[in-house]
Amino acid sequence: MIQASEGLAACHNAPPGRRSRFRTAALIARALVILCAGLPACPLRSAPAEDDISAKLKPVPPCAALVTAAQSRQIPLEGIDAPGETNTFNAGDSVTFLVSLHQKGGKLTQWLIYIQALTPNEKELAAKAPKPLVVYDSLGSKMEFQSLPAPVTLRTLGPFTASETKKKPREPQEQNARTSLDRGFLSLGLEPAVATLYRLQQLDQPQIKGFFSTMDTPPAPDLVEKDRKLNAIAKLTPEEERAMCGADPALESYIQIVSQTKGLNDILYQVVDLPSIWSIIRHGGVNADLNVDMKHQQPMELSDWGLAPGAPVYRSPMSLLLNDHLSLKVTLIVTEPRPPLLACAGVVGLLAEKPGDKETYMTLRVISAHKTAK
C-alpha cells in the first residue's frame, strides 16, 4: 500500500486489479528494491522524507578519462536540442546520461550511458503491434494508451575514477546491447502528472487528499460518485486526468530502460543502507515502505542543465524504507517528454542518497540529447 503523507495520491486497501492513485513512487521503490538489493518487492507504505538536494544536484562535469573514451566512440557529451513539436522518435536520435557516484573522502566514480534510436530491422517491422493499454479511473473514464516499441542501442562505459586515489583504477568496460524502448508510453512523460499534483496541492483543500485512482477494471459506481463530487473541487481537466493515468506506463517504460543498463544495479547498491540480517529474520523477509513527499513536489530552476529557457521543471522527492529502516532517499527531476527527451520520458535527473551519510550519493543526469538532422 502506498500513502503520500502530505499528498493527493494515496492507495488504500485496494481490491484486485486496482492501481495506486499515482503509482510513480511505487514503481520507483519496487525497481530500486530489486535493482539495489536483489530482494523481493513488497507493498509500500509511508515514511518521513527529507528535502535538501540543491547542492548535490549541481552539475558535475565528466572526468578527463571519460571524455577521451566518449570522444573516441563519437558519443556526444553536451548540448540538448530545443524541444520538438511532435512526439517523434527517429533513427539517430540520442540521449547521453552521466552517472556520478560520490563516496566518502571525496571519491568520485563515473559511468556513461548512451541511448541511440535505430532503424527497425525486418523482424521488428513484421512484429505484431501490441494491444493498447487500457486504464480506468475513479471518475468513470476509460483511457487507452498505445504501446509503440522502438529499437535502440544501449551502451554503457565505465567505471572511470574521477578523483585521486592510491588504488589503481579499474579498467573501464564497454557494454553494448540492442534492445527496445516504448516510445508510445515514454512520450506520456511524468511532468504533466507531477504538475497536476502540484496544482492540486496549491488548492489547500484537505478533503481532496487521496482523491482519484486508476485501476485495471471499471470502478465501482459508489467510488465514481464520491470522486466526481470531489472533482467539483479539484476541477481536473481532461488533459490532467489523462496525464495522471499515463504516468504509470511512462514510468514503467523508463524503469525498464534503467533496469536493462548493465552495471547500474551495482552502482545503486553502493547508496542503499540495507536493514540488518536480524531485521530480515524478524520481519520474515523485507517489507518496502515509501513516502512520497507531496509537500515538496514543486517547480525548480535548472539554468545550468542545458535545458531550453522556460522549460517546465519539477522535482519529486521520496524516501524508501526497508523493514521500517530508512534505506534510500530519491529525487526525480522531470520536464516535458518532448523530443529529444522522449527516450527518457522527460526524466532529466535522478538523485539517490544514502541516509545518514551526506558524502555517499549517486546522480544520473542527462548531459546531451539530440534529434536527428533532417
| Mean per-residue pLDDT over the chain, rounded | 82
Residue 100 pLDDT greater than 70, yes or no: yes
Give percent above pLDDT 90 in the chain: 50
CA distances from 253 to 67, 102, 273 (A): 29, 27, 26
Ramachandran category for residue 241: left, alpha or beta (phi over 0 → left; psi -120 to 50 → alpha) = alpha
pLDDT digits (tens, 9 = 90+) for 12-64: 333 334 444 344 444 444 444 444 433 333 333 333 334 467 889 899 999 99
Most confident of 19-28, 166-175, 256-265, 266-275: 266-275
pLDDT at 290: 66
Give percent above pLDDT 70 in the chain: 83
pLDDT digits (tens, 9 = 90+) for 355-374: 888 899 999 999 999 998 76
Ramachandran category for residue 74: left, alpha or beta (phi over 0 → left; psi -120 to 50 → alpha) = left
Annotate 177-211 with DSSP letters as a single string: EEEEEEHHHHTT-SHHHHHHHHHHHHT--GGGTT-
Whether the model clears a pTM of 0.85, i.e. scores above it, the answer is no
Annotate 217-251 with DSSP letters as a single string: SPPPHHHHHHHHHHHHHH---HHHHHHHHHHHHHH
Domain residue spans in the chain? 24-370
Say whether 294 sits in a helix, a strand or coil: helix
Residue 153 pLDDT greater than 60, yes or no: yes
Residue 218 pLDDT greater than 50, yes or no: yes
pLDDT at 19: 46
What is the distance between the alpha carbons of residues 224 and 226, in angstroms, rounded to a whole number?
5
Q: Which of the four pLDDT bands, split at 50, 70 and 90, describes residue 278?
A: confident
pLDDT at 222: 96
**If residue 214 lies in a helix (H) or strand (E), which one and from where to where?**
strand 214-215
Mean pLDDT of all residues in 116-132: 93
What is the distance between the alpha carbons of residues 321 and 323, in angstroms, rounded to a whole number?
6
